[in-house]
Amino acid sequence: MESTILNKEDEKIIQIESTILNIDELSVSYGGDKYSIDKVSAGIQKNKITAIMGPSGCGKSTLLRAINRMHELYPETHHKGSITLGGEDIYKINPIQLRRKIGMVFQRPNPFPTMSIYDNVIAAYILNGIKLKRSEKNEIVERSLREVGLWDETKDVLHKRGTFLSGGQQQRLCIARALAYKPEVILLDEPTSALDPIATAKIEDLLVKLKKNYTIILVTHNMGQAARISDYSMFMYLGELVEYGKTKKMFTTPKDERTEAYLMGKFG
């Protein structure tokens, strides 16, 4: 069990910086006694990029989805342990409220196909029935699209459908949509796995810029991606958090031999 806790050195560093999300002994099951993730504990650092790596089926998406309670879409899920956001237990907040504080971006770009680019950005307001003045809408759309570097490409076609954009642009639109509500944390579930290398590079650059204002948690299959952009990395294996620490350190001197084997490409 040693390996699930942080090693002392890292723990010190992580405590000095500020923890925004605290995951404490979290286990999640999709039904029955089998837990997809088992007693995961970690403190997620504010304004940093944390990458969650691991082979398929290791529970990394489950962990990510537990953070904004999206795993509850499956009716039989239950969990043990807790997650706190700024000290507040997220399982005591209404999921609808929680998801406005923790935005999410998915594997495949999924802009709303019936909406224009403009409406997609402010979808959270439209769909929640929040009335905004025209000037407020314009401001949110421009700010969000500028944040994701999509403003110059789309400012003349804002009223075309979102699905008319390229895959990479659609994914940036989805990030803009998640940012429009000014969440504290953004969760990304393999956001570049459906994109080509150029679009991937753009998203990576974007995430590095975004961490100034947001805390980013990124699930990735791609070790290179984790090494390039993340500040902290988690390695998960069979539902267990094997190792968590500074990315540079983990990639150069992994503590656990399973982490080492994974990073060497021996499995995954």
252 near other proteins, judged by CB under 8 A:
no
Q: How far apart are CA 29 and CA 97, in angstroms?
A: 23
Torsion of CA 97, 69, 242, 1, to 10 degrees: 100
Identified binder of other proteins from the candidate list 13, 126, 208, 227, rule CB under 8 A: 126
Which of 59, 103, 191, 245 is in the footprint of other proteins by CB under 8 A? 103
Q: Any residues with CB less than 8 A from the CB of 138 and at least 6 apart, and which? A: none
Token pair 């404490």 is found at: 24
Stretch that binds other proteins, among 101-109, 132-140, 222-230, 237-245 (CB under 8 A): 101-109
Task: Say whether residue 114 binds other proteins (CB under 8 A).
Answer: yes
The residue type found at 174 is C
Nearer to other proteins, 59 or 103 (CB): 103
- Evaluate the CA torsion angle 233, 239, 242, 244 in order and state its sign: positive
What are the distances in angstroms from CA 23 to CA 26, 83, 253? 6, 4, 24
The single-letter DSSP state of residue 116 is B
When binding is defined by CB under 8 A, the residue of 41, 47, 77, 112 that contacts other proteins is: 112
User: Could you tell me the smallest distance in angstroms from the CB atom of residue 156 to other proteins?
Assistant: 21
Nearest CB to other proteins, comparing residues 161 and 221:
161
SS3 80: strand
134-173 positions binding other proteins, by CB under 8 A: 161, 163
Determine the Cα angle at 104 with ends 212 and 197, to 5°. Answer: 75
Q: Applying CB under 8 A, does 92 fall inside the site for other proteins?
A: no
> In the set 47, 110, 138, 193, which binds other proteins (CB under 8 A)?
110
Positions touching other proteins (CB under 8 A) are 68, 70, 73, 95-100, 103-104, 106-108, 110, 112-114, 123-124, 126-129, 161, 163, 174, 177-178, 181
